[in-house]
């Protein structure tokens, strides 16, 4: 970050004689869950992974609603067609019944094209659309659905690297969710594509659901947080 250029396009804030902008994070709705997310304030990618029905998408919906209610814009990249505007609106109304048109603060990009994901996110961030956060649901899935070829894994790694850099340069909170696969070497579940994305992750949370309870584990600090999901979103 000491005066280096990135891809011939972006320069770090140090080039301009300024510190990188601080990331303006917003609550997910759960204080215990929020405490696991890094608070260094200068960007980075927070990865959330877990099996189906472990609360990953609900956490994104809840976070997006909190941003919208506070009047901050969000770019939501939906790679699997799972974005539910009615659910986000339900959460937003439970946070603030007087919130005016919260969905207008959330721009949704629905695509499963890796090329379009990267290009659209770059263009929208550079256009200074006022986004405080970028949320990507099931990011690795479009890249790896045809197998783990060198081209596909390289493209995924490049996208994550750029997200990490853009987060710092533009001061955006980046949240990424991933599915899991069984790893025979560790005899446990690992995020899809983790071997190609881990260098660019500043926070990694594993979500699980046991006996109706939701639990998040921070793999970097080994701390846990319990939370619940109801009609008002993610809560303690």
Tens digits of per-residue pLDDT, 124-150? 888 877 899 999 999 999 998 877 778
All residues at 6 or more sequence positions from 203 whose CB lies less than 8 Å from its CB, including other chains = 36, 37, 38, 44, 45, 46, 47, 218, 220
Q: In the prediction, which pLDDT does 208 show?
A: 93
pLDDT at 75 over 90: yes
The model's confidence at residue 117, banded by pLDDT at 50, 70 and 90, is: very high
Residue 116: the pLDDT is 93
For position 38, what pLDDT does the model report? Answer: 62
Q: Are 225 and 30 spatial neighbours (Cβ–Cβ below 8 Å)?
A: yes
pLDDT tens-place string over residues 216-236: 999 888 899 999 999 999 999
pLDDT at 199 > cutoff 70:
yes
Rounded to the nearest integer, the mean pLDDT of the chain is 85
Beta strands in the chain (DSSP E): 5-6, 10-11, 45-49, 73-78, 106-110, 131-137, 173-178, 180-183, 188-191, 201-210, 213-218, 224-230, 233-235
Residues 81, 111: Cα–Cα separation, whole Å: 8
Pairing of strands 224-230, 233-235: antiparallel
pTM for this one? 0.87
Classify burial at 214, counting beta carbons within 10 Å of its beta carbon; exposed 0-12, middle 13-18, buried 19 or more: buried
- Where does the pLDDT of residue 7 fall: very low under 50, low under 70, confident under 90, or very high at 90 and above? very low
Check whether 39 has a pLDDT greater than 70. Answer: no
Task: Give phi and psi for 76, each to the nearest 5.
Answer: -110, 115
Residues with Cβ < 8 Å from 103, sequence gap 6 or more?
68, 85, 88, 89, 92
Q: Over 90: is that where the pLDDT of 109 sits? A: yes
CA 232, chain centre distance (Å): 20
Range of lowest pLDDT (26-40, 99-113, 180-194): 180-194
**For residues 48 and 39, what is the distance between their CA atoms, to the nearest angstrom?**
16
Delineate the domains of the chain, giving CATH numbers in brackets: 5-235 (3.40.50.300)
> Across residues 172-182, what is the average pLDDT?
89
| pLDDT band per the 50, 70, 90 thresholds, residue 12 | very low
């Amino acid at each position: 970050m000491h005066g280096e250029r990135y891809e011939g396009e972006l320069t770090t804030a140090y080039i301009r004689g300024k510190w990188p902008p601080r990331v303006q994070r917003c609550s997910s709705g759960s204080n215990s869950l929020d405490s696991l997310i890094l608070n260094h304030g200068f960007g980075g990618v927070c990865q959330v992974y877990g099996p189906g029905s472990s609360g990953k998408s609900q956490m994104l919906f809840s976070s997006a609603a909190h941003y919208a209610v506070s009047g901050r814009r969000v770019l939501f990249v939906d790679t699997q067609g799972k974005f539910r505007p009615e659910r986000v609106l339900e959460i937003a109304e439970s946070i603030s019944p007087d919130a005016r048109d919260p969905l207008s603060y959330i721009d949704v990009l629905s695509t499963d094209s890796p090329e379009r994901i990267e290009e659209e996110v770059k263009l929208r961030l550079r256009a200074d659309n006022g986004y405080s956060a970028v949320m990507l649901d099931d990011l690795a899935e479009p890249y790896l659905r045809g197998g783990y070829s060198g081209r596909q894994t390289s493209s995924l790694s490049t996208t994550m690297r750029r997200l990490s850099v853009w987060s710092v340069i533009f001061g955006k909170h980046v949240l990424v969710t991933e599915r899991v696969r069984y790893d025979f070497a560790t005899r446990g579940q690992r995020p899809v594509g983790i071997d190609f994305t881990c260098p660019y992750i500043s926070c990694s949370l594993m979500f699980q659901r046991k006996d109706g309870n939701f639990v998040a584990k921070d793999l970097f600090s080994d701390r846990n947080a319990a939370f619940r999901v109801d009609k008002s979103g993610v809560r303690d």
